[in-house]
Structure 1
Amino acid sequence: MDGEKSLTVEEAVNFVKQYKQESGKTQSAIAKELGISESALSSFLSGTYKTPLTVCDKVTALQKVNEKKRVAPKAPGYVPTTITKTVINAIRYSHIQGKISVVYGDAGVGKTEAVKRYLKDNSLAVGITISPTYASITGVNELLAEQLGVRERVARKITREIIAKLQDSGRVLIVDEAQHLTVRTLNHLRCISDESGVGLALIGNDEVYTKMKGSGRADFAQLFSRIGMRKQVLTTHITKEDTRAVFGQYEVSDDAIDVLYRICRTNYGLRGAVNVFVNTAAVFQEVTDSGVARVMKDMNIGA
């Protein structure tokens, strides 16, 4: 333990019991964290383990790690900003009107946080996140089937059951990272929206809008003409008030807010500013302009 005093057996047992209750983890999961078998942990907790001090050292190490995690600075949670409001309003439009909305633009500006918030606040919203693995019709159907409880396994029947579950449901489909979708899959989602009558909100970077717009050819008309609302969100749309709303809840100097604001409006976006903020707080236990500048240099971030 590098010269640090280990917990006593009684203290270690009490910590494990409290940790299990507060974390909601199973005894098996805690044993895995400690690097011992579940049976060994059971014996330790019951007082029958032959060499309890060896487990005490492991429990002490776990306690210290969790204490560091507890006091470590956290990234700000969801905060209403110019951009998150734009995203949520577009999703709400799709939800109420049963139309397609597209929000596209720069990375790291808060689009995903807005999606998460809408999903949290609206039990009728169905959200999926696309990765290249799920860019096909099959991949999207798999994600939607999981969300909607579809049991069918035959491809065409899966689509029919998805539509049946969505009809008259009052739901809205939210697709994050939609730029990964193929044009064929975008049309598939458009058909699901048309046939079920539910709205569809597509959230992603510029590529998703480019794919939907196409080159003006007739084969893109069905897709592009269905867009009821489109909104572009850029890092340059982030305001000083947005930055203050996100970071002003902490003890952050005005000069530091200015620097974080400048980061927000670069290609690093709000996500980059949050990373700088968290690292500055971790290193200096406070967030000042000089501390932010120091961390920016270490992270090779310019503003």
Structure 2
Amino acid sequence: MNTHTSVAGENPPAGATPFRKTSWERPVTGPQTGPNRTRHDIDIWWGLVDRIIEVARANGWSMGEVARRVGMPGGTFSVWYSGKYSGRLENQNSLVSKWLDAIEEQADICSLIPASPGFMKMQMSQEIIETLSWAQMTSDLVMITQGAGTGKTEACRHYCATRPHAYIATVSPQTKTVHGMLVELAAELDVMEHNPAKLTRAIGRKLQRIGNGSLLIVDEAQNLVDDAINQLRHFVDVHKCGVALVGNNEVYGRFTKKNDGPSYAQLKSRLGKRLKREKPRVSDLRTFIQGWNVTDPDCVKLLIGIGMKGGAMRQIDKTMKLATMIAMGSGEDLTVDHIQAAWKNRDVEDVT
């Protein structure tokens, strides 16, 4: 006999057919006809049970999670699913049916949204990979500063996915401090240390175990406070790991202040290589546009103009997703009119 797993804080309701929350076994028997349920209600119940099993298994949801999403108390859902619900079956069927319809409608919409092109080899991405390789091989501090939407994050993630001992942590205004950055690095390095005072040493021990050839990539590095950048220099000096600061030009501005202090002198002397580019290359934009299978010259020209705006390939990506949906909705092949309509609908700025 299976063991019932109840929702936290609830006891299994009387009469419930027990089942494992991860197996989602189909109940052997269903509800019986009575004054508050018809044969039609029972047939609907069987169909809903089969749909729930399919959705729950596909998403790895437990009974408690499904009950929460449906908006039904866990105990009530358990009894309903087991076929032992004594109340009016039509009401619970309706609640479950509406939830399943919404889930399937959302899945249908998501399936229509075109997928962005995956990582693509471009001149820009190749330069980023070469810079990261230099940092990792030489245990050096490098800086990569590029405009938004030029693919630097995708290139860094691709590098980490294809190279051993390369880790990427993204900092934000909420994690810009030394401690916040260390927490992000610890998560990427699988370092478990809950004492803030020991976090730096714990990360250092992990880097020492890896040995020479590790690389820490810090994305959105413009958010870091100065002491956090100096902490990264410490990792380079003491633990002989490579560090890549990735972000916008504000990062490099830290190194060119007129009133340089000792820490900046140290940072400047440690910076082994800098890769800088504010605007995307037209050749890279063309490669990205090809990833969308766009070949019409007018469409390509318009998309290049969009890509030269702030946001570069990200602007193209968002515009193409919307343009493709507009074309699909009208039953037409993609044209420059659809791209123009998508750009106008996004209301970002004019394309000159």
TM-score (norm 2): 0.76
What is the deviation of 1:32?
3.0
Moved more, 272-281 or 199-208: 272-281
Aligned to 1:223: 267
Counterpart residue identity of residue 32, structure 1: R
Q: How does the TM-score come out when normalised to structure 1?
A: 0.88
Computing the radius of gyration over CA atoms, which structure comes out larger, 1 or 2?
Answer: 2
What is the distance in 2 between the residues matched to 1:117 and 1:178?
18
Structure 1 residues 10 and 84 mapped into 2: Cα distance closer, same or farther (>3 Å)?
farther
* C-alpha displacement of 1:28: 3.1
Aligned to 1:147: 188
Cα deviation, 1:28-62, whole Å, max 9, x if unaligned, reads 33333322233344334333344242122322232
Query: Counterpart amino acid of 1:296?
Result: W
**In 2, are the aligned partners of 1:177 and 1:203 still within 8 Å (CA)?**
yes
1:101–1:229: 8 Å Cα contact kept in structure 2? yes
How far, CA to CA, are the matches of 1:98 and 1:164 in structure 2?
16
What one-letter code is carried by the residue in structure 2 that aligns with 1:36? M
Choose 176-185 or 140-149, whichever is displaced more.
Answer: 140-149
Question: Mapping of 1:3-152 within 5 angstroms?
Answer: 8-49=44-85, 50=87, 51=89, 52-54=92-94, 55-148=96-189, 149-151=191-193
Name the amino acid aligned to 1:264.
G
**How far apart, CA to CA, are the structure 2 residues paired with 1:13 and 1:172?**
50
Q: Give deviations 1:79-136, integer Å, cap 9, x for gaps.
A: 2222222222222211111101100021111111122222222341122111112212
- 1:200-248 deviations in Å (ceiling 9; x for gaps): 011000011111333373521210111111011223x3324x3343342
In the other structure, the counterpart of 1:3 is: none
Q: 1:302 corresponds to which residue?
A: 350
| Structure 2 unpaired stretches of 5+ | 1-42
For 2:164 and 2:124, the matched residues in 1 are separated by: 22
Q: 1:70 to 1:125 in 2, by over 3 A?
A: same
| In 1, Cα distance between equivalents of 2:196 and 2:93 | 57
- Residues 277 and 287 in structure 1, CA contact (< 8 A), matched pair in contact too: no
Partner of 1:272: 315
Give the fraction of aligned pairs with identical amino acids, expressed as a percent: 26
Distance in 1 separating the partners of 2:149 and 2:217: 18
Distance in 1 separating the partners of 2:319 and 2:302: 10
Residues 112 and 325, structure 2, Cα contact 8 Å, conserved in 1: no
Letter of the 1:178 partner, please give it. A
Decide whether the 8 Å contact of 1:128 with 1:176 is kept in 2.
yes
- In structure 2, which of residues 306, 325, 334 is the aligned counterpart of residue 287 of structure 1? 334
Alignment partner, residue 290 of structure 2: 248
Q: Which amino acid aligns with 1:163?
A: G
Q: Which residue does the alignment assign to 1:4?
A: none
Shift >6 Å, 4+ stretches: none
Q: 1:297 to 1:218 in 2, by over 3 A?
A: same
Q: Secondary structure at the match of 1:133?
A: coil
DSSP 3-state at the match of 1:134: coil
Distance 1:251 1:172, change over 3 A: closer
Q: Is the 8 A contact 1:76 1:247 kept in 2?
A: no
More displaced 10-residue stretch of structure 1: 286-295 or 50-59:
50-59
**Matched residues, number:** 295
The 1:252/1:154 distance shift into structure 2, 3 A limit, reads closer
Q: Distance in 2 between matches of 1:189 and 1:179?
A: 14
